[in-house]
Amino acid sequence: MARKPKIDWNKAKVMYVSDDTVTYLQVSKAFGVSHKGVKARGSAEHWRDQRRDVAEKINERLIEKSVDKLAEVNARHTSIYKNMQALGLSELNIAMNEILRLQKWSKDSGMPLTLKKDGIIGQQSLKFLFDGLKIAMDGERITLGLPTAIAVSKNEMTGKDGGALFENVNLEELNAKLTRAVAALGQGDSPADSP
């Protein structure tokens, strides 16, 4: 009478359960047992169900790790964007203080104040600064899942009492005033002196 081979069924089960590409036939060959014997043991011990459970746990852990990594990246990016904003606002504050100082100097000395294209308070520097601040603010909003543009309906423009939160703004008039102020600064006049 032939002796049955003595095998470690736990190792055979681990081989099958831990790898969803392994078949009962491969287990039988690896442990020198009949295919029928492995299939019977696997069926009795519900190896396929255990394999599915292991795969689900692995997928859950992968998802958790992905979520944690995404949260870490978002937190890092949010911090970078906040630091960019702080730096930009600091630079803007410096530029605004310089503008105020020069406006006072211009008024006190009677010398005209003109906008420059370059320099700490030049048009290009200010545009670069404002563009950088917008990028930093939009980036932070994106990492926080917020929209970068806000649409406001007429209903949202009313206060609790139903009154308008903002007065109607005549955009053409506002644009004309801004154009005159920029032109006046370019000519050395004070914006208050422009019509």
Q: What is the pLDDT of residues 101-119, one digit of tens each?
A: 887 888 888 887 665 655 5
Q: What are phi and psi of 153, to 5 degrees?
A: -85, 170
- pLDDT tens digit string along 12-51? 999 999 998 999 999 999 999 999 999 999 999 999 999 9
Mean pLDDT of 73-81: 89
User: Is residue 91 classed as helix, strand or coil in its secondary structure?
Assistant: helix
Give the lowest-confidence range in 52-61, 98-107, 108-117, 160-169. 160-169
